[in-house]
Amino acid sequence: MRAVNLIPTDARRGSAAPARSGGAVYVLLGALAIAVVALASYVLTQNSISDRQAQLAKVKRDADTAQATATALAPYRQFAQLSQTRVATVRSLASSRFDWERAMHDLALVMPDNVWLTSFVGTVAPGINFGGAGATGSTDTGTLRSSQQVPAVELVGCTENQAEVARVMARLRLVQGVTQVSLASSEKSDVSSAAGGSGAAGATTGGTDCRNGSPKFPQFSMVVFFKALPGAPARAPSSGAAPSTGANPSGGAKAPGATTAANNAAATGGAAGGTGK
């Protein structure tokens, strides 16, 4: 027969008695698992924060080092900027400079041998003064010279006849950079005035008359205009008449110059000189 335990279940003792803890063990195990997970998350978060802080500190050190290097190199940067500014200034001055040496050399090459000059005045703009004195070569050329704001040379001199005056103008037009040659006057001395000791018919420069009282040689005044300097504004049209030449029966010849188109350029400086031949 099979033995039957007649003792109530709650009164039994020993290994045969059922456990009385119930679900508390599982709750405890769950709480422990949650604590382990939370601790692991906290440790990982702290490690990540520490790494980020270390990286931030490194970046700050690098920035401080770079700032110190930039501060130490600041004088070199300022010097480079100053050098660039000076180079730009020199280039600007060089581009706006008129080459008087070449201009005078070319004028000397094309000037005929039978021409002698008493006045040679070169300026880059009208109204230039030399040592407090006006740069205008003569009254006739001064009016012509003021008509254009470009480099120009005012010439006063003599030659053998009126045809040679026209030849001089044609030769001057061949000079590189010349845009216009305007004749202010070309006249011979009046025979009666020369014999009577009166003043010459043409305008003279500084009281010097290259004709020396001779009724044969004409004295001319002309202006040679060159190209405008770089950066000069476009020329503005103005009224004027074309230059002309002519002779009268008494031996005098007068060729008034014409006012031409004005060329507005803001430039100063010039060259002046006199030569006789």
d(CA 87, CA 81): 10
Report pLDDT for 143: 83
Structure token pair of residue 228: 């405008």
The pLDDT assigned to 277 comes to 39
**Whether pLDDT at 103 is above 80:** yes
Structure tokens at 90: 């020199």
Give the mean model confidence (pLDDT) for residues 90-99.
79
User: Is residue 276 over pLDDT 90?
Assistant: no
Region 234-254 average pLDDT: 38
Sheet-wide strand order for 270-273: 178-188, 218-226, 152-158, 116-123, 270-273
HSE-up (13 A, CA, CB side) for residue 45: 6
pLDDT digits (tens, 9 = 90+) for 109-160: 999 999 999 999 998 888 876 654 444 455 677 788 888 889 999 999 999 9
Q: Among the ranges 86-95, 168-177, 198-207, 242-251, which has the highest mean pLDDT value?
A: 168-177
Higher pLDDT, 99 or 192: 99
